[in-house]
Structure 1
Amino acid sequence: MDSNELIVNSSESGILQLILNRPAQLNAWTPALEAAFFGTLDAAAADPDVRVVVVTGAGRGFCAGASFDMLGEAARSNDRTGRRELCELAEFPKPVIAAINGPAAGLGFVLALWCDIRIAAADAKLTTSFARLGLVAEHGAAWLLPRLVGRTHATDLLLSGRTLTGTQAESIGLVSRTVEAGQTLSAAMDYARELIRTGAPNSWATIKRQLVDAEQLSLRESYTQATELMIPALAAADHREGVAAWRDKRTPRFEAFATPSPRR
C-alpha cells in the first residue's frame, strides 16, 4: 500500500526495510501508517524474493507510540473495524528485526517486542508508558513482556512506566544486543544478511510457528509436535542441501519460503 508515512526499501536482495516515516512526530503510529505497514507485510509474506524484514524509524526515533489522533477524545470509539494487531508479527512466516534507533514508547515499545530480534542503540529510550497515560497494558504487552524478561521486570516496567536505555534493556534481555548510536540499521542489516546466508526460510517459518504454539502446549505436546514436523523436514530438499553444504564447506542454497508450516 502506498503511504508517505512508510518508506519501503527493497534495494538489497532478500531484505525488505520498513521505515516508519513521521520523523517530526518521532514516528508516532497512525491508522494510515498501520494500514501501509501491514499491507506491505501481507505482500511480503507471499513474495519469495523477501526473506527477512527490518523495521526501523526515520530520523532520531523508532516509534513514540500512538499518535495523539489515536488518543484522548478521538479514541473513545470502540470501533476497531479494519484495524490490525501487532501480535500478527509473531505469525508472520519470515524473520522480523527491529532496529531501535531511538525512542520507543507505548505502542512503539510493543511493536519492537513483537519483532523476532531487537537491536537497539545503546542510548535509545524505551518505555511502556501506559500507566503514566492512564491506560492499560495494551497490544498484548501483559502476555509478551513477562515471557521476554520475566514477571519481576515486566511488572516493574508496566507499573512504573519508567524509561530504560538500550544498554539497560540489554541487561535484562529486552533487546538482543546494543550498538553505538547511528549503527542500529547497519547492525540489523548485517544480522539479516547472516540469516539469509545460513538459514532456510521454510525452517524459519516452521520454527516461528512452533514458538507461538509452544505458549499453548505442554512440554510433551510441544515435543510431539516437533517430532511430527521433523518427519517431512528430514525428507525435504532443504535438509539435503543443508547436509551437502556442510559436507562441502560451502554456503547453502536453500529454497524460498513456499507454504505455511503445518499446525497442530
Structure 2
Amino acid sequence: MALEQVRYEVDQHVATVTLDRPEKLNAWTRRMSEDLREAMRQADDDPSVRVIIFTGAGRGFCAGGDMGLLSDIGADRDRHAVPPAGAFDPRGPVDFHGPDSYFPSISKPIICALNGVAAGIGLVYPLYCDLRFAASEAYFFTAFAQRGAVAEHGMSWLLPRLVGLPNAFDLLYSARRIDAAEALRMGLVNRVVPSAELMSETRAYAQLLATQVSPRSLKVIKRQLWDDQMRGLGPAVAVSQAEMALSFLSDDFREGISHFVERRAPRFTGE
C-alpha cells in the first residue's frame, strides 16, 4: 500500500515514521491511521531496523482528529464506525489487539519525538510509545471532555500509569493545556530539549540503542515490560527466569561478554 499521509524512511538501523499533513497540524484521519499501521508493519518486518522514531511534520505532532471528519461522525455515526483492523500480532496479549493499541505488539523500541502540539488522539499514540522526547515549545491536552467525548482509545488505562491517577483525573477532566516543562514534571515525557535540537537528540538516542545494546535484549525487554502490566509479580518473575535462560544461549549474550572483555565496540546481530 502506497503511503499518502505518513512518511517512512530508514537510515542506519533507525526507521523514522512521520505524520505528514503539516498544513493541518497533522490532524488525524482514517487514511493516516491506515498509513501509520502500514509504516509500523514495514518497520517491524524489516530486519535491518532496530529502533523506530515516531514524529510529525511541520509545527505540530498531531492536533487531534480532523474536525471535518469529526463533524461527519456526529452527523452519521453508523457510516463512520471504525471497522476492526485485526490483531497486529495475534500471538501477543489480547489487550494489544485493538485498532489503536497495537504499538506494544511492535517488537522494536518506539521513541516519540513530540515536535509541537499533541492533542486528543494525537496524544493517545505517544502514550503507546516506549519513550517520549518533547521539544521545549511542545504542548499537550487531552481535548476529549471539551468535545463532548470520553477518554478514548485506552487513554484511561495509559495515562494513570505514566502520570498517576490524580494527574490523569486533572488532565482528562479539565482538558487543560500543559507545556513541556509540566509534562516532564508529571512524567508524561522522558526528556525536554530545545526545539531545534529535538530530532538530533532523538536520533542520537536511537543510534545508541541501535548500536550499543543487543537488539534481541531490546525485543525481549519491551515484551516483558508491556506484558507484565497484565501480570502479577509471580508470573513476571517466572517469565523473566525463562527468558534469562534463553538469553544465555544467544549469540548476543556471547558478544555482550566478548566486547566487554576485549574492550571494543559491540557487534550485536540480534540472534
TM-score by length of structure 1 reads: 0.93
**Offset of 1:67 from its aligned partner?**
1.2
* Range with bigger deviation, 98-107 or 206-215: 206-215
Amino acid at match of 1:231: A
Residues of 2 paired with 1:249 and 1:162: CA distance? 51
Aligned to 1:8: 8
Q: How far apart, in 2, do the equivalents of 1:85 and 1:185 lie?
A: 28
Q: Do 1:101 and 1:182's aligned partners in 2 also have CA atoms closer than 8 Å?
A: no
Cα-to-partner distance string for 1:76-104 (whole Å, 9 max, x where unaligned): 12632254623211111001111100000
Aligned counterpart, 2:107: 93
Match of residue 149, structure 2, among 135, 138, 161:
135
Write the letter of the residue equivalent to 2:36: F
Q: Is residue 165 of structure 1 aligned with residue 179 of structure 2?
A: yes
The 5-angstrom pairing of residues 158-237 of structure 1 reads 158-237=172-251
Question: How many aligned positions are there?
Answer: 256
SS at structure 1 position matched to 2:50: strand
Q: Name 1:49's counterpart in structure 2.
A: 48
Could you tell me which residue of structure 2 aligns to residue 37 of structure 1?
Answer: 36
Q: Percent identity?
A: 38
SS at match of 1:126: strand
Amino acid corresponding to residue 72 of structure 1 in structure 2: S
From 123, 146, 169, give the equivalent of 1:109. Answer: 123
Shift of residue 74 of structure 1?
Answer: 2.6
Q: Is residue 6–residue 21 contact of structure 1 (8 Å, CA) maintained in 2? A: yes
Tell me if the contact between 2:6 and 2:39 (Cα under 8 Å) persists in the aligned partners: no
Q: CA deviation at 1:73?
A: 3.1
What's the RMSD between the two structures over aligned residues?
A: 1.5
My pick for the range that moved more, 238-247 or 80-89, is 80-89
User: Match of 1:104, as an amino acid?
Assistant: A
Rounded to whole Å, the distance in 1 between the matches of 2:17 and 2:84 is 21
Displacement after TM superposition at 1:127 (Å):
0.7
Letter in 2 for 1:133: R
Letter in 1 for 2:37: F
Query: 1 CA distance for matches of 2:23 and 2:5?
Result: 11
Query: 1:244: Cα distance to partner?
Result: 0.7
Q: Name 1:147's counterpart in structure 2.
A: 161
Q: Secondary structure at the match of 1:192?
A: helix
Unaligned runs of 5+ in 1: 259-264
